[in-house]
Structure formats: structure tokens, C-alpha cells
Chains A and B, each alone.
Chain A
Amino acid sequence: MTTIESKALLTRNVVSDRGTVIGKLVDLSLETRSGKITMLVVKPSNEVDVRLFKTNDFGEIYIPFNAVKAIKDVIIVNETGLPRA
């Protein structure tokens, strides 16, 4: 079992499996009853075209947690699994 302290996780880079830097993790969306994490909330990097992603009012990108392939020094997400706007 690998566990990570969530405060250490915030501000880590989110990168797609094709090598695109998407942005920095700013928050996680979670279901409080089960403790399940549903979404990553990512502040997009300047190079990324946010119009390609599902975003909230603050322009932050939502990535479903089941698109996450690995979490360590960076967070790697499956690019084909991302919802497109």
C-alpha cells in the first residue's frame, strides 16, 4: 500500500502520458462518505490550451481521478482518458 500526504501532493506537476505538462495540482475533489477521490483540480500551465479541457469558473482543469496512471514526484495522467470540452 502506497500512501501520500495530500498537502505534499498539492502544487505537484500534472503531466500527460504523452509528455505534455498540463499544470499544477491545486486541489482534489472527493466523496466524503466513501473517502473516494473523484477529480484532480489542476491550474493549467501557460503553454496548455485550456479550451481543450473541462474547466471550472476559475479556469482550473478537472481531470477524473481514474485517468491517473502514477503519482510520485509528478502526477501522470492518461491523455486519451481526459474529457474534452
Chain B
Amino acid sequence: MITKLTKVFGKEVYTLSGSRVGRVEDVTIDVDTRKLSEVLISNLDPAFQKRYELEDAKGVILPYSGIRAVHDIVLVNNIKYRLHGTEAAAQAQEGSEEGLL
């Protein structure tokens, strides 16, 4: 499906198992391959945050390869994410702290 980037911003993100993750905040572009590389998800679902102990996280970052479908909502695989906007995220830049959705 062809869509516009600005229409992807703000879409609700759910996993394949049906639980809400959050909302699309931004998308990063790989300039070399001309492809989307990562999706930044903010406005995390409280239940999701609690389950994965992400209460202090502003958001999570998913590789675009984990996206299954983009239409009215965004469906993601149960895959690895990176933390965004926390002290842990800063450390993760070096230590690569990752979790599983």
C-alpha cells in the first residue's frame, strides 16, 4: 500500500497478539537504502509499560522490519525494541539494552 508519511504519524500501534503499544511519534529514514529504518513509538500504553517495566521510558524504537502492516493502525511483530528518551536509553547506546515486546 502506498501512503503518506504524515498520515503515519500518530497512528496507534498494536502487536500481533492484540495488545496496544503506543502511538507513532516519528520514523527514521536510511538515506543510503532509501528506506524507512526505525519507528519511534511514544505515548506508551500504561499496561504495556507496566508489563515490561518501562514506566520511565518516553518511548520505544522498533526496526521497520518488525512492522507487519500499516493502515488504520500499525501492526508490529513481537520483536526487539530499543528504549527512547531515558537514562537507560543513553546507556543503551553503548551497552545495547534491548527488550522483547
* Of the residues A5, A32, A66, contact of B69 by C-beta under 8 Å: A32
A36 to B65, CA, bound (A): 11
- Chain A interface residue count, CB cutoff 8 Å, equals 27
Residues of B participating in the A interface, judged by any CB pair closer than 8 Å: 1-6, 8-9, 26-38, 40, 64-65, 67, 69-71
A19 to B16, CA, bound (A): 47
- Contact flags (1/0) for A3-17 with B, using CB distance below 8 Å? 111110110000000
A-B contacts, 24 of them at CB < 8 A, read A1-B33, A1-B37, A2-B32, A3-B38, A4-B28, A5-B27, A6-B28, A7-B26, A9-B29, A10-B6, A27-B5, A29-B3, A30-B2, A30-B36, A32-B1, A32-B2, A32-B3, A35-B35, A35-B37, A35-B67, A36-B34, A37-B35, A37-B36, A38-B2
Contacts of A4 in B (CB 8 A): 28-29, 31
Instruction: Name A's interface SS.
Output: strand
Contact between A3 and B30, CB atoms less than 8 A apart: yes
Instruction: Name B's interface SS.
Output: strand
A6 and B26 in contact, given A35-B35, A37-B36 (Cβ under 8 angstroms): yes
- Residues 19-73 (chain A) with a chain B CB within 8 angstroms: 26-38, 41, 65-66, 68, 71
Contacts of B71 in A (CB 8 A): 32
Q: Top 10 closest A-B pairs, CB basis? A: A35-B36, A32-B70, A28-B5, A35-B64, A2-B31, A3-B28, A6-B27, A35-B35, A7-B26, A32-B1
